[in-house]
Chain A
Amino acid sequence: MSMLNRLNFLLLLILNYKRRYITTFLLSSGLIAILASVLFISSSIQEELMSTLENQADFTVQHYKSGHLLNTPEKWIEEYLDIPGVSKVQGRIYGTHYYEPKEQHFMLVGLDMYDVQIVKGMQKLINTLDIEKFLERKNMIIGSGVKEFFDKYHYTKYYIFRPPDRSKEKVYIYKEFPKGSDLLTNDMIMMDMPLARKILGVEKGYISDIIIELSNPDEYQKVYEKLIISHFDTRIITKKDIAKHYTNLFNYKGGIFMVLYIFAIVTFLLLLYQRYSMVESLDLKEIVILRSTGWSIEQIISFKLVENFMIVLSAYLVGVIIAYIYVFFLDAPLLRDIFLGSANLSIHPEFIPYIKPLDLLILFGIFVLPFLLAVVIPVWKLCVKDMSEMIR
Chain B
Amino acid sequence: MIQLQNINKVFTNTNHNSFQALKDISLAVAPNECVLLHGSSGSGKTTLLHIIASLMKPSSGLVEVKGENIVSLSDYHASAYRRSTIGYVTQSFYLLDNLSVEENLLPALVLESLSEKEMAQKIKKALSLANIEHKAKQKVSTLSGGEKQRCIIARAIVNDAEILLCDEPTANLDKKNSLFFLELIQKLKNLGKTILIATHDPIFEKLEYVDKVYNLEGGSLE
Contact = CB atoms under 8 A, between A and B. Distances in A.
Interface of A: 1-2, 5-6, 8-9, 12-13, 16-17, 285-286, 288-299, 386-388, 391-392
B113 A12 contact: no
Given A9-B110, A388-B11, A16 B98 contact: yes
Nearest to A297: B75
Contacts of B108: 293-294
B56 A386 contact: yes
Which of B53, B88, B107, B159 is packed against the most chain A CB atoms within 10 Å? B107
18 contacts: A5-B111, A5-B112, A5-B119, A8-B110, A9-B106, A9-B110, A12-B99, A16-B96, A16-B98, A289-B95, A292-B82, A293-B83, A294-B83, A294-B108, A388-B50, A388-B56, A391-B46, A392-B91
Contacts of A299: 79, 111
A8 B106 CA distance: 10
A387 B50 contact: yes
Given A12-B103, A288-B90, A293-B159, 6 more contacts: A13-B96, A292-B94, A296-B76, A296-B78, A391-B46, A391-B50
* Interface class of chain A by DSSP: helix
Interface size class of B (residues with CB under 8 A): 35 or more
Interface in B71-128: 75-76, 78-80, 82-84, 86, 88, 90-92, 94-96, 98-99, 103, 106-115, 119
B47 interface: yes
A331 to B, nearest CB: 42
A388 B46 contact: yes
Contacts of B76: 296, 298
Contacts of B11: 388
Given A288-B90, A292-B90, A388-B56, A2 B96 contact: no
Interface string B154-191: 01000100000001000000000000000000000000
Nearest to A17: B98
Contact of B56 (A286, A297, A387): A387
Contacts of B46: 388, 391
B55 interface: yes
Contacts of A297: 75, 79
Given A5-B110, A387-B56, A285 B96 contact: yes
Contacts of B115: 1
Interface in B177-222: none
Contact of B107 (A1, A2, A293, A298): A293
B50 A286 contact: no
